[in-house]
A and B are shown apart, each in its own frame.
Chain A
C-alpha cells in the first residue's frame, strides 16, 4: 500500500496559492485525495475567499481545533491548531487548511460570512476549545450549557471534572459518583 502522507511533494493547489499569497502559505503536502496546506492563522478568511470565488471550493465541510498541549508525537509550533476542510463539489477537489493558533492569542477570523456551515462549526470549536472567531455574528456555546465554565476538549480540562447544574437538595448527601465517607471519601 502506498504511504498515506506524501510529505515531500506539495500539490498543484499549493503552488497556485503560493503564487497569490506568498507570505501566508507556510507548507503543503498531499494526503490523497486531500491536499494539506498550512497557512498563517490571520489569512484564513482571505485564502478561503479566494478558494471559494476563484477556485470553486464551494463548501466548508468541516472545521475543528486540535489541542497539542503535551503532544508526544513531535514538536508543534503552537498549542492549538485550527483545521478547515474545504471541498469543491464541481471538481471534486478537497483541501485541508491548517493554522497554528497560540495559547496567548486564540482568535482566528470567522468564515461565517463566506459559508453558512461555519456558523455552528465555529460555535462548537469555541465551546469545546475556547478558540474565538473574529467576526462571528453570535459566538456562544452550542453543546454545553451557558453556565458551564471552561472548555472541555482542552487537554488541561480533567476527564472526570463535574459541574452539577442543580444545587444540592439534601446537604450532606454526597453528589452522584462521589465516594461515601465510610470508604475514604471526603
Chain B
C-alpha cells in the first residue's frame, strides 16, 4: 500500500527504551492509540552461553549460569548442578539440600520483589519500587553473606555448595523475613485497592488458560491464568516434598492477577525459608564423592593423596567426567520451568547444554497480549512478564 493511503503508523519501541529494559525491540503498527499489529524482536543480549559452556569444563559452567537470570542466580546454579548430579548419580547430603532450598527461595523473593517493584514503577508508583528495592537490598546483603556476592554468586557446585551458611546469615535471616513481609504489606496497601493501579492492570495483557498451555507458559504467568502447575510440587526436587507451601492461582490471567500471584508467592517462599531454618539438619554440605568434590585445603597443603586428588579434579582432560548420555532436569525458576537438557560425551566438557529459558515462552506470546489494546498498555503487559534478557537471549 502506498504510504499516503496507509491508516496505521509504524512505531519502534526499543531496544533503547527505558521500559524495554534495553534489550527488546517491538515494532508496533498503530492506528491512533490502538495496537493493530506488532513484531517482537529479541536477541540483543545473545552472548553464546550454550556455545561457551560446551568449551568449558563442567564446573566452569557455573559462573555462566549466574548470568542467565541475574536476579535469581542461585536457582540457575542449583538447576545446572542438579542436572549434572542426576547424570552422575550423586546424592548431596541433607544439609546441602536444605540450604540450597533456602537460598533458592530467597532468590525467588528477590526476583518477585524486583518484578513487582519495576512494574509498579513503570506505571508511576515510584515509592513502591524504592521500598521493594530496599527490601531486596537487605536480602542481597544476606545472599552476599552466604555466597560472597550479591548477584554473580557462583555458589552451587556439582556435588554440593561452596560453603556452609555462616552464623551471621542465620542470625540475620528472621529479621530480614519480618522486614520483607512488612515491606510487601506496605507496598500492597498502596497498590492492591488503588483505583489507578487497578484501571491500568485489570484486563490488560490477558491470556486464557488454553493460550497459556499452547505457548507452554509456566510459572507466575501460567498460574495467573489458572494453569495449576508448579515444578516444586508436581516434580519435587531438593526437599520440596518435605515442606508445606501453597500454589497461588489467578483467574483472569491479566497483569493484575500476575501481580497478585507474585505477591502471594513471596509469602509462600518466606514460609519455606522459615521451615528450612526450623528443620535445617546438621552435617556436611557437599557430597563425599571423589569424582566431584575437592579435598579440604588443609589436607591438600599437608598430605600427598589429597594433593594428587586436587590436581586430578582440576587438570585439563581429567576433572569431572559424567558418563556419556543425556538428562533433563527441571526446576521452578522465578519465571517458570527452568530446564537443563544436558548431553555428555564422557569427556571433561559438556557436549551440549540446552537451557529451557522460562521467559522465552511468555515473550513469544507478547504480541498476542498487546494487540488490540492501547499503546500505553504495552508497558504493563511487558512488565508483567519479568523479561530477563540474560536467560531469554542466552
Which residues of A does B touch, CB under 8 Å? 1, 3-5, 31, 33-34, 58-62, 64, 66-67, 71-74, 83, 85, 87, 89, 92, 96, 115-117, 119-120, 128, 141-145, 152-153, 157, 159
Contacts and interface: CB of A to CB of B under 8 A. Distances in A.
B256 interface: no
B55 A159 contact: yes
A4 B393 CA distance: 30
Given A33-B235, A117-B216, A4 B51 contact: no
A120 B360 contact: yes
B51 A73 contact: no
A73 B325 contact: yes
B21 interface: no
Contacts of B213: 58-59, 89
A116 B365 contact: yes
Interface string B61-103: 0000000000000000000000000110111000000000000
Which secondary structure dominates chain B's binding surface?
mixed
B356 interface: yes
Given A64-B354, A117-B361, A73 B345 contact: yes
Contacts, number: 102
Contacts of B43: 141-145
A14 B37 CA distance: 43
Given A89-B213, A152-B51, A62 B325 contact: no
A116 B328 contact: no
B345 A71 contact: yes
B26 interface: no
A116 B227 contact: no
B188 to A, nearest CB: 30
B135 to A, nearest CB: 33
List 3 A-B pairs, minimum CB-CB distance, nearest first. A73-B324, A73-B345, A143-B43
Interface of B: 42-43, 46, 48, 50-52, 55, 86-87, 89-91, 211, 213-216, 227-229, 234-235, 324-325, 327-328, 337, 339, 341, 343-347, 351-352, 354, 356, 360-361, 363-365, 393-394
A73 B364 contact: no
A66 B352 contact: yes
A153 B228 CA distance: 35
A72 B347 contact: yes
A148 to B, nearest CB: 10
B220 to A, nearest CB: 16
A4 B364 contact: no
Nearest to A114: B214
A64 B234 CA distance: 24
A74 B346 CA distance: 9
Nearest to A120: B364
7 contacts: A31-B327, A66-B352, A73-B324, A92-B235, A116-B211, A120-B360, A143-B42
Contacts of A85: 328, 339, 341, 356
B339 A1 contact: no
Contact of B214 (A72, A96, A115, A152): A115
B215 A117 contact: yes
B337 A66 contact: no
A97 to B, nearest CB: 12
Contact of B87 (A4, A58, A83, A116): A4
A103 to B, nearest CB: 17
B343 A115 contact: no
Nearest to B327: A4
B18 to A, nearest CB: 23
B227 A73 contact: no
A89 B229 contact: yes
A142 B44 CA distance: 10
A143 B324 CA distance: 29
Nearest to A92: B234
A39 B51 CA distance: 27
A1 B325 contact: no
Nearest to B347: A72
A138 B51 CA distance: 25
The interface centre, meaning the residue of B52, B55, B360 with most chain A CB atoms within 10 A of its CB, is: B360
A74 B216 contact: no
Contact of B48 (A1, A71, A152): A152
A4 B329 CA distance: 11
A66 B345 CA distance: 12
A144 B337 CA distance: 24
A67 B350 CA distance: 12
A59 B214 contact: yes
A5 B325 contact: yes
Contacts of B214: 58-59, 115-117
Contact of B341 (A1, A62, A74): A62
B92 to A, nearest CB: 11
A73 B351 contact: yes
Nearest to A7: B325
A96 B91 contact: no
B344 A73 contact: yes
A34 to B, nearest CB: 6
